[in-house]
């Protein structure tokens, strides 16, 4: 059976994980995840990704919020 691979988008601070179809740019993945780009950094393993970076199917990326309060 055909099993389409997806991009796994992890949002650790929200304890959330999304599977989104790829390949797509980081900024498009963020838009789909409802995250504003000026509030996060996006990483893939030890790499930091720019917002126009193209993420391939099967990849896992972490969206880390940078907003501190108080």
Partner 1 sequence: MKCKRCRRAEAAVDLPSHHAAFCPDCFFVFFRRQVTEGIRKLRLLAPDDRVLVCVSGGKDSLVLWDVLIDEGYETEGLYIDLGIDGYSDRSKEKVLAYAASRGKTPIVVELAKEGIPIPEAARCVRMQECSICGTVKRYFFNRVAAEGKFTVVATGHNLDDETARLLGNLLHWQRDHLARQHPLLPGADGGLVRKVKPLWRVSEVETAAYGFLKGIDYVTEECPMSFDATSLVYKEALSRIEDRMPGTRIVFYKGFLDPSNPLRKGPEAAVADDAVPTPEDAPAADAARATEVEPEEGAGTPGACASCGAPTYAETCSFCRLKERVRKARSLRAERISR
For strands 60-65 and 7-11, give the pairing: parallel
> CA-to-CA distance for 40 and 32, rounded, in angstroms?
14
CB-wise, 1 or 66, nearer to partner 1? 66
Tell me the C-alpha to C-alpha distance, in Å, between residue 13 and each of 4, 5, 51, 67, 68. Answer: 27, 25, 20, 11, 12
11 binds partner 1 (CB under 8 A): no
36 binds partner 1 (CB under 8 A): yes
Q: Which stretch binds partner 1 (CB under 8 A): 2-10, 16-24, 40-48?
A: 40-48
Binding residues for partner 1, rule: CB under 8 A, are 12-13, 36-41, 43, 47-53, 64-70
């Amino acid at each position: 059976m055909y099993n389409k691979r997806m991009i796994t988008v992890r949002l650790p601070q929200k304890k959330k994980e999304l599977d989104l179809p790829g390949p797509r740019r980081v900024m498009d993945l963020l838009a789909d995840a409802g995250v504003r780009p000026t509030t996060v950094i996006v990483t893939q393993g030890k790499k930091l990704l720019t917002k126009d970076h193209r993420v391939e199917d099967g990849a896992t990326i972490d969206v880390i919020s940078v907003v501190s309060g108080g």
